[in-house]
Structure 1
Amino acid sequence: MDLSFTEEELAFQAEVREFLENNLPAEVKDRYQRGLHFDKEGQVRWQKILNEKGWMAPNWPKEYGGTGWTATQKYIFAQEMGRASAPPPMPFGVSMVGPVIYTFGNQEQKDYYLPRILNSDDWWCQGYSEPGSGSDLASLKTRADRDGDDYIVNGQKIWTSHAQHADMIFCLVRTDQDAKAQEGISFLLIDMKSPGITVRPIIGLDKEHTLNEVFFDDVRVPIANRVGEENKGWTYAKFLLGNERTSIARIAQSKLRVEHLHEIAASERVNGGLLNQDRDFMRKLTQIEVDLMALEYTELRMLSKIEKGEKLTAEPSLLKIKGSEIQQRLTELLVESLGMYGAAYESQAVREGRNDLNFAPDYAHGPMAEHLYLKAATIYGGSNEIQRNIISKMVLGL
């Protein structure tokens, strides 16, 4: 595996770096750098900038609006995005439902939805998990019954990220009540403005409104909004989850957090000296760096396989497990590095409403919020325990 870049690739890297320096909005960069949840207006603005450049969906086929980049160029782009503190596009549209539509959808669905995803005209959320059906997703109960040219959908989804902002939801529903667990499931695209949909907020451990419950009460969904064949939705769901688990690794962002920790350690004082002189703290940071480097090489090996046209097996699960665990260790160490400043946590809404002085250093705003939110990283996208089961079956044959 040759890890050196060609002259053309180095020129591409310089082009990406220059574009990000000149076009990334400062307020969008600041929120992402701090680990705060996005502001929808700022995120849409940034995504439209990417789309205008033609860089919104590097992983899509060129015929649908992708870049036509090689795997190496995609890797360079992701690394430069992380280096510049540039948030990637929201994954639910461009990384999840978009590939399902262009792979399994009909021409009418491709023509309508794909341009709207690229231009951020539709904001998507994911209707997978239910009460009692999380990692055991095949046990879902939300049902869709045929009525003429429509399905009538009834049920509940939970932990639905950013549903309060969404225009559309891609949803797994049971269309055959008598079939076995992984059969009888269909994949529907549902307009969030449909009568009968109710969204209720779930306030997370970080005191922020990111998660939601979504209720469906006799919601009419045109059969034309079904992707692929009826009762074959589990196939499409597995395809989507493979894309999700790869993106969850967030290697570029973790490398940025490591750099940030070194900066903090060079300025914060503890026990009469600088934090970077504390052997226990630096041991933990160095171990994370070693593990992150190993994870990055695992990703590079995966990219090498893709370049050669080889089929992936358990690689997305490996990336998801190690990537999410490293994220949690990093944010925990960030909070530790702040000492008493990290403990005085307030939600974003409370902080913005205060008018008293804040004596904490500027970089103390964000790490605790991200640390609390990422407690879920080893659960969402398929819990790490489930990912280990997948690896044991696909690699070890257990």
Structure 2
Amino acid sequence: MLCRSFSWFIRIFVAVAIFTGFCHPVPVTESYTGVTVHTLTTDNSESLTVERVQEAEKATAVDLGALLDAGDGAVVTLLAGDTRLVAHRAVLAARSPVFADMFRRVTVEGSSSQLVLSGTEGPVLRQVLAYLYTLQVPQLPSMAPQLLVAADVYGLSVLKAHCEQQVVAQLSVETAAAAGVIAIRHSANRLKQAAVAFIKAHLLRVMATQGWAQAVVNDPQTVVVLTHLIAETPTDTRDLSGEEKGKMLIAAAKEGSVSKVRTLLVVRADVDAKDENQQNPLHWAAARGHVEVARRLLEDEADVNARDRWQNTPLHQAAWNGHAPVVRLLAASFANHDASDESGNTPLHDAARRGHADAATALLEAGADREVRNDNGDTPLDLAKRNNHQRLVDILGSS
């Protein structure tokens, strides 16, 4: 009797408990990836998730830097040479308008989840992604110029400004030319002003560096713009005097450096500056056979018939040293092919004496007089015979 009564009591208690549960939902707390949610059991046995916005935002604040090399959840692979980096589209698009535009185009074109970034080297791209995830500027001075370029390419103005500051801080005679080129190409105005002022203050030393030569070879048009800025921009430092510029131009002509000659002419070096022997840059370019330097000097209206202390013209120098291409260039620029030096020798005399058949032929083609005599009464043919230059004898002896 007692057992049967107790059994009924249990049945009634369970029924009441079940009925109460259906009428009053009991909250159950779950944790999922750090976000706390509350699930309510309803009278139709369906689950309804309610997010508490403030708690969710706080709970999902993740250090994005920790996701940089994570493969799980990465939705895009960036390829730069041999470097492959996985990243999250949402992060890249939020930080960079350029990446955002890339992803929009990928969506429209239906492309794969890989992007090939041919203009950025792998190590540089890695630092760019590190910045995109952490917003911490990399402290890598040696990489600052490349990062500045990448920051400009991907529309990262804050990173670009910081890199610009780093490049300015480490300007030197070796880096100034490259920095100036980068500044012009990527509209880095602060760096451009600093580089121009630095180069103008140290022009001779900068132009003597390998960095300047490489800038001229790699991007000659931008170097021309840079040199114009150097010529036009005033600075607080001492400008080179006209005499110093002239000496530099003569040295550049001797060396055969077209880039240095071009730069010095832009900053108004005297194209007819003279050394202690009254030889100008064109004399030296002709003597050394630097035809492109000679061409550039002539374009700037160098005196093609200038005389040195021995009354030699640049054409004398080219003929004496057997530089036929320079002979042709000077002759085409209206050089006097029959000009006489202090001994009455013409360029053809010099070519004949030295046995330079090609130079003599170029002079004859330009109209040089083979019958002219020097102060000793010798013709070019006489000098060729006396010095046993048979090929010249044949050339000059033929009518």
Same fold (TM > 0.5): no
Higher strand share goes to which structure? 1
Q: Which has the higher contact order (CA 8 A, sep 6+)?
A: 1
Identify the TM-score tier after normalising by the shorter chain. Answer: under 0.3
* TM-score normalised by length of structure 2: 0.21
Bigger CA radius of gyration: 2
